[in-house]
Amino acid sequence: MKTVIVYYSKTGFTRKYANWLADALECPAIPLHEVRPEDLEPAQIVIFASWFHAGNIQKLSWFKEQKLGDKKRAVLATGATPGESALIKEALDNNFKTDKADYALFYAQSGLNYEKMALGDKLMMKVFASMMRKKKDKSVDEEEMCRMIGDSFDGCRREYLEPVIRWVKSFGA
Ligand SMILES: Cc1cc2nc3c(=O)[nH]c(=O)nc-3n(C[C@H](O)[C@H](O)[C@H](O)COP(=O)(O)O)c2cc1C
């Protein structure tokens, strides 16, 4: 089945995942600002990859607005949170309150890149990191988050894409 990946990325982690996925699936990965309706038209499977920003998957509303008919749709969200954290399911549920059944949902931990972040985002992360450091009685997840978010890190791993690849291949693609 013909597959297309559309991605939205600011600091490069989601782009890296989209390109790895495109390699594995031998399909195009197109940045959101370049995608045209005729790129999506011939595909039977459309994967949208984007990143969590304060719990919201960026540009998800764009993807939800696309008229995709009976095409299979998946969303791959990336973020700094470790994939095994319970926060991920909660965050995905919040982004798909009424329409979860229409999408296959995947998450891949990425990282943080303070050097490439927009100024507003950098400030937001610094305030968040400082609030987390000061918070008393942190949960295990919060302790882990606190340890990670102070500095840039790259936690991307190709193997985090295996569930997405298995899902696409389950259609014989
Ligand atoms: C302002 C801001 C808010 C963020 N919020 C979250 C979040 O809620 N959950 C999370 O896991 N990661 C969060 N992140 C981390 C990004 O999702 C992560 O760095 C992402 O991979 C960036 O994607 P990109 O490199 O493709 O632009 C946030 C990053 C920034 C800068």
Q: Are strands 45-53 and 56-57 parallel, antiparallel or unpaired?
A: antiparallel
Instruction: Give the mean pLDDT of 98-121.
Output: 97
Asked whether residue 126 carries a pLDDT value surpassing 70, the answer given is yes
Regarding the beta carbon of 125 and ligand 1, being less than 6 Å apart is answered yes
The more confident residue out of 86 and 101 is 101
- For residue 50, which atom of ligand 1 is closest to its CA? 26
Asked whether residue 148 carries a pLDDT value surpassing 90, the answer given is no
Closest CA to 51 of 82, 31, 78, 20: 78
Asked whether residue 70 carries a pLDDT value surpassing 90, the answer given is yes
Asked whether residue 173 carries a pLDDT value surpassing 80, the answer given is no
Q: Are strands 111-112 and 153-154 parallel, antiparallel or unpaired?
A: antiparallel
Regarding the beta carbon of 122 and ligand 1, being less than 6 Å apart is answered no
pTM: 0.95
